[in-house]
């Protein structure tokens, strides 16, 4: 009888331990998904901003749809974040970010309406939107770090490098587009407190170097080589801005880098599960 009780007690403890491990794994997965949605939110807003700058210089309805797509992607990510805090962040903190996003969307709407009405952008209004995009991105980055600390989630260093590289590329792409597509490029160059393009490009160099460290994963190596190849092609244009550069090529290659960075993140996360 005593041995039977010991076996039952041992089995109970084992089941409890297994349940705790399972709960912890699910909590970690939920927290990582939360971080992924915050990352998508940051990227999507800068993609929308880049598209708006291109639209302001061309008045092309097809480009306007790119603005809508970027805002919709950011909106979906924000809604997911708001519904799935899971104790990772307070509702007030998420609501603060949501309010900053509402301000950005309102400014985007106003800028589009002004462009439609007068055929060219309002510099003050466009500057307000650029500054709001930077404020909102900084807030999202702050919450991203808070979520990591709250969930005690240690994200893979290379995943973090890829995400930071993607945010930096999206910011550079939007800033470059602001200078290229504005008829007042000498007076409007994006957010007032944003770093210069050459500084951001050098930061991107650092993130790309971090991404290249670590054990080799065949598909990942090919993806990083693709990123490096594209970056080498356009890096000089970001370091030494020149109005004679072909802007649509810079935009296309920048988006190709963003797509490849997303692939790198997926490959890294898959390798961790295998």
CA proximity to 225, closest of 263, 199, 252 = 263
Query: Greatest CA span in the chain, whole angstroms?
Result: 89
Structural contact between residues 124 and 227, judged by C-beta atoms closer than 8 angstroms: no
Q: Helices (DSSP H) in 119-246: which residue ranges?
A: 123-151, 157-181, 197-211, 218-239
Structural contact between residues 194 and 134, judged by C-beta atoms closer than 8 angstroms: yes
The two structure tokens encoding residue 249: 């090529």
User: C-alpha distances in angstroms, 228 versus 153, 162, 204, 258, 260?
Assistant: 29, 13, 11, 12, 10
**Phi/psi of residue 138, nearest 5 degrees:** -60, -40
Series of mean pLDDT values for 10-residue runs along the chain (274 residues)? 59 48 47 86 96 90 94 95 74 92 97 91 91 93 86 81 96 90 57 80 96 87 96 94 80 96 94 73
Other beta carbons within 10 Å of 166: 25
Query: What pLDDT, on the 0 to 100 scale, is given for residue 253?
Result: 96
Q: What is the dihedral of CA 207, 212, 214, 218, to 10 degrees?
A: 140
What domains sit in the chain, N to C, each tagged with a CATH number? 29-155 (1.20.120), 156-274 (1.20.120)
Specify the pTM. 0.85
Query: What pLDDT, on the 0 to 100 scale, is given for residue 274?
Result: 63
| DSSP3 helix / strand / coil % (the chain, rounded to 5) | 80, 0, 20
What whole-number distance in Å separates Cα of residue 49 and Cα of residue 47? Answer: 5
The two structure tokens encoding residue 242: 């020149």
């Amino acid at each position: 009888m005593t041995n039977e009780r010991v076996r039952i007690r041992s089995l109970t403890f084992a089941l409890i331990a297994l349940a705790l491990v399972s709960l912890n794994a699910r909590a970690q997965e939920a927290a990582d998904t939360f971080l992924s949605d915050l990352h998508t939110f940051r990227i999507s807003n800068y993609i929308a901003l880049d598209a708006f700058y291109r639209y302001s210089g061309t008045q092309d309805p097809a480009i306007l749809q790119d603005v809508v797509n970027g805002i919709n992607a950011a909106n979906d990510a924000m809604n997911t974040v708001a519904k799935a805090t899971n104790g990772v962040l307070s509702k007030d903190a998420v609501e603060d970010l949501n309010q900053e996003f509402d301000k950005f969307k309102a400014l985007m709407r106003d800028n589009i309406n002004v462009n439609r009405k007068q055929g060219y952008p309002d510099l003050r209004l466009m500057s307000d939107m650029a500054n709001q995009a930077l404020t909102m991105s900084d807030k999202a980055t702050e919450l991203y770090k808070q979520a990591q600390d709250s969930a005690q989630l240690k994200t893979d260093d290379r995943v973090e490098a890829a995400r930071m590289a993607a945010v930096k590329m999206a910011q550079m792409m939007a800033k470059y587009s602001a200078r290229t597509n504005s008829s007042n490029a000498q007076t409007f160059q994006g957010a007032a407190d944003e770093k210069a393009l050459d500084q951001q490009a050098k930061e991107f160099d650092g993130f790309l170097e971090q991404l290249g460290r670590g054990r080799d994963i065949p598909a990942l190596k090919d993806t990083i080589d693709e990123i490096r190849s594209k970056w080498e092609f356009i890096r000089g244009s970001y370091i030494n801005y020149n109005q004679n550069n072909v802007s649509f090529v810079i935009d296309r290659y920048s988006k190709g880098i963003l797509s490849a960075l997303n692939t790198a993140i997926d490959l890294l996360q898959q390798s961790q599960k295998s």
